[in-house]
Structure 1
Amino acid sequence: MSQQEERSELSEVAREPREEYFDNQPLGIELEEEDPDDEEPIARPWDPNAIRVSTKTFSIRQVLDQIDEGDLELAPDFQRNLVWKSPQKSRLIESIILQIPLPAFYFAEDEDGMYRAVDGLQRLSTIHSFVRGEDFALHGLEYLQPTVGQKFSDLPQAWKRRIFSSQLVVHVIDPSTPTDVKYNIFKRLNTGGSPLNSQEIRHCMSRNRSRAFLSDCAAMLEFEIVVGGALRSRVRMTDREMVLRFCAFRLLGVEVYEEQRYRAMEPFLDEATRRLDDPKIVSDATLEQLRQDFKQAMTISHEVFGEHAFRKWPLKRDNLSPFNRALFESWSVALADLNTRTASRVREQIIERARSSMSADAEYITAITTSTGDARKVRYRFQKAAEIVRESQ
């Protein structure tokens, strides 16, 4: 690296990290920046014959019955994170009453014949809550103003029948389609009014075993304490993604990340989710040990770094920076095997070395700032954190 390039990288320290925003609100999470010169690695080629998608037509009544009977899963614990606003919900119902065709839905079918909805999840949830739950009244309509303020039970019987008989076009991905292909299909076709992010798609595609595990870990007091208010709102499931990142690197390691079939964060996290869902790969005992490892990592991280845990903290800057994903995954894994007594003894040495790296090590600064999914940068930040912990003891 030339001196000019090094000065450019070190200049990252001079400016405040930028925060992510959602719905015009700061999230307290550092924006992950991408280098425009970096290209996303190409996944291994797919076999077109392995991609099996069929098109079916269901009435809304059939779909509602499937949801009620448990044959169509909407990931219930995901509902509180749906991001549609009330006017969007009302206008969807208005479109159905007006018999305006809705965009296609996408389901994944499992080996037991059960469906999981990903694309169209918000629309299905809205229809179900209006018809079966009557959770909201219509307002903000464009054409059916006399209906404003009415719930489903208030509608004319003819309109109720119209809603029930409306036909939905559904593209169903066959269970024989490889899991990673399913994820990528949904990422390509995720077209809703408020598109789901990768973790939300992963959540909907996964099984209850991994979902329950990630939810339990994200609800740990130790986790809430060390991340402060940054992930408290649980917007867009960032809290569960962080738990999953710890689990992925703890289980698989950087070596697996560097394999040609991964070398990017999303396929790596997809693979970790698949393993967490399969008790033949990750046993109940291993899962429980992983839970204890995560708890210990959160406890020690707070013991060492306090409120600055998983945040940039260069020398000569003591203000609280936004939560940083790259620091979380590398430092949580590096500290997971320390006990409280050792952590207390080496705390000052770790802090000194970590802050020095965040101030003067240009390669480390870029590894936690720009294109953080690059395999070389992942390797470097994990090595650096492990090296600091080892040399501090």
Structure 2
Amino acid sequence: MARPKERPTAEQVRLAEEQIVAQSKRIDFFLTEYSVELLAQKVRDGEYVVPDYQREYVWEERRKSRFIESLIMGLPIPFVFFWEMPDGRLEIVDGSQRLRTIEEFVYGGLQLGELDPLTHLSGFRFDDLPESRQRKIKNRSVRGIVLNEHADEAARLDMFERINTGSKTAKNAEIRRGALKGPFLDVVTELANAPLLAQLAPLPLKAKRERGYEELVTRLFAYGDGLEDYKDRPSEFLFAYSKKMNAAFAADPKLAEIYRERFNAVLNFVSQNFPFGFRKAERSTATPRTRFESIAIGVDRALAERPELADRAADEIAVSSWINLPEFQKITSSDGANAIARLRGRIDFVKNKLVANAIN
């Protein structure tokens, strides 16, 4: 983004400083170190609270073995993040997979796979090691950061996302599902399992396991309901939206059916008018998120403005006349995808094309 030509005013500096202070107060923490032995014991005894979005033990055997090899070699281990709950227990914000792998190795009989460079340790279990080596492993320390009890759920979500900047955004659906149980997310989960959605928007197996379809459904509703509070940070926007909608659905149970009908109207329209659904090509096995957003939310808004579109024949809708235009390919690229101008641009492109055909 280009730097502004003018220097910030004194008032802008004051507001920026107030914002920094306010946000910093949300993150109060202290540093600590735990021995491998203590961590393994606490995981074994269930003394750590694992939030729902981290319940599944998803590390494959090779990744477990590589992690234990790094631990044995004394390589630096990433910080484990905890939240100190009001009752004094520690909830794992980030590090659940590492901690459970340590416990499985020390107490659960985990057998190491093929290692490199510690090739002679391949196939070993913890009990196969000499007692001296076992003690040395147990004595190794892992650094921890503990957030205090005043860090709210949004602050913990933000920290988790920033720690995992290399992970897929679909993982945020797992986080929301664990932190924000409620009637809206129940409907999202239900609709995410719709066979027609899987047919129109195929996803890789890994994305499915990380609740990728729930992420798509949530984005359809959240962006379709308006972007007034969107600040170029999808995770925060979707978290706040889901929390708000859980309350709205609880207050008015009839909303659930309204949103089901809206979802089905979008999918039926796409099925009838878009030759490859949300995919780029007939044999595509993955669905770009930006393409899904542009089509799904563009259709949603077009139907809201022109309901008669649902009764038009496919040759009247004429999606093929613009779906392959270079302009559409450009606005659905991933470059700057989360910027609000790009997001609005790709949604409005589809909506305007459909509405124009309704008028003609």
- Provide the TM-score with structure 1 as the length reference: 0.65
1:106 maps to 81
Cα deviation, 1:178-230, whole Å, max 9, x if unaligned, reads 55544444444448xxx4344436634752627876555433322212113x3
The answer to whether structure 1 residue 280 and structure 2 residue 244 are counterparts is: no
Cα deviation, 1:299-357, whole Å, max 9, x if unaligned, reads 415522465112357xxxx8869623223124323545969x977742415651x3334
Amino acid corresponding to residue 279 of structure 2 in structure 1: R
1:380 maps to 345
Whether the 8 Å contact between 1:334 and 1:386 is mirrored in structure 2 is yes
How has the CA–CA distance of structure 1 residues 322 and 142 changed in structure 2, closer, same or farther, with 3 Å as cutoff?
closer
2:240 maps to 271
Inter-partner Cα distance in structure 2 for 1:343 and 1:114: 55
Inter-partner Cα distance in structure 2 for 1:107 and 1:203: 18
The answer to whether structure 1 residue 49 and structure 2 residue 14 are counterparts is: no
1:174 to 145, 148, 168: 148
Count how many residue pairs are aligned between Structure 1 and Structure 2.
Answer: 333
The answer to whether structure 1 residue 200 and structure 2 residue 175 are counterparts is: no
Amino acid corresponding to residue 53 of structure 1 in structure 2: F
Gapped regions of structure 2 (runs ≥ 5): 5-15
Amino acid corresponding to residue 104 of structure 1 in structure 2: F
Inter-partner Cα distance in structure 2 for 1:272 and 1:93: 40
The answer to whether structure 1 residue 248 and structure 2 residue 222 are counterparts is: yes
How has the CA–CA distance of structure 1 residues 383 and 90 changed in structure 2, closer, same or farther, with 3 Å as cutoff?
closer
Whether the 8 Å contact between 1:138 and 1:151 is mirrored in structure 2 is no
Inter-partner Cα distance in structure 1 for 2:103 and 2:186: 23
1:325 maps to 289
Q: How does 1:232-381 map onto structure 2 within 5 Å?
A: 232-234=205-207, 237=210, 238-250=212-224, 252-257=225-230, 262-275=231-244, 279-280=246-247, 282-283=249-250, 285=253, 288-289=256-257, 292-293=260-261, 296-297=264-265, 299-305=267-273, 308-312=276-280, 323-335=287-299, 345-349=311-315, 351-352=317-318, 354-359=319-324, 362=327, 364-369=328-333, 370-381=335-346
How has the CA–CA distance of structure 1 residues 265 and 50 changed in structure 2, closer, same or farther, with 3 Å as cutoff?
closer
Inter-partner Cα distance in structure 1 for 2:43 and 2:91: 10
Whether the 8 Å contact between 2:153 and 2:179 is mirrored in structure 1 is no
1:79 to 47, 57, 60: 57
Inter-partner Cα distance in structure 2 for 1:287 and 1:175: 34
Inter-partner Cα distance in structure 1 for 2:186 and 2:126: 33
Amino acid corresponding to residue 93 of structure 1 in structure 2: I
Gapped regions of structure 1 (runs ≥ 5): 1-35
Inter-partner Cα distance in structure 1 for 2:35 and 2:189: 33
How has the CA–CA distance of structure 1 residues 233 and 359 changed in structure 2, closer, same or farther, with 3 Å as cutoff?
same
Inter-partner Cα distance in structure 2 for 1:350 and 1:233: 38
Amino acid corresponding to residue 51 of structure 1 in structure 2: I
Q: Name the SS for the 2:312 alignment partner.
A: helix
Inter-partner Cα distance in structure 1 for 2:174 and 2:337: 22
How has the CA–CA distance of structure 1 residues 304 and 241 changed in structure 2, closer, same or farther, with 3 Å as cutoff?
same
Inter-partner Cα distance in structure 2 for 1:96 and 1:214: 40
1:139 maps to 114
Q: CA RMSD in A?
A: 4.3
How has the CA–CA distance of structure 1 residues 140 and 154 changed in structure 2, closer, same or farther, with 3 Å as cutoff?
same
1:17 maps to none
Shift of 1:55: 1.6
Q: Name the SS for the 2:99 alignment partner.
A: helix
Inter-partner Cα distance in structure 2 for 1:220 and 1:118: 31
Inter-partner Cα distance in structure 2 for 1:38 and 1:309: 40
Inter-partner Cα distance in structure 1 for 2:89 and 2:114: 34
Amino acid corresponding to residue 96 of structure 1 in structure 2: L
Cα deviation, 1:37-76, whole Å, max 9, x if unaligned, reads 799xxxx743233321112333334434544526331645
Q: Name the SS for the 2:228 alignment partner.
A: helix
- Provide the TM-score with structure 2 as the length reference: 0.70
How has the CA–CA distance of structure 1 residues 308 and 101 changed in structure 2, closer, same or farther, with 3 Å as cutoff?
closer
The answer to whether structure 1 residue 222 and structure 2 residue 205 are counterparts is: no
Bigger relative contact order (CA 8 A; separation at least 6): 1
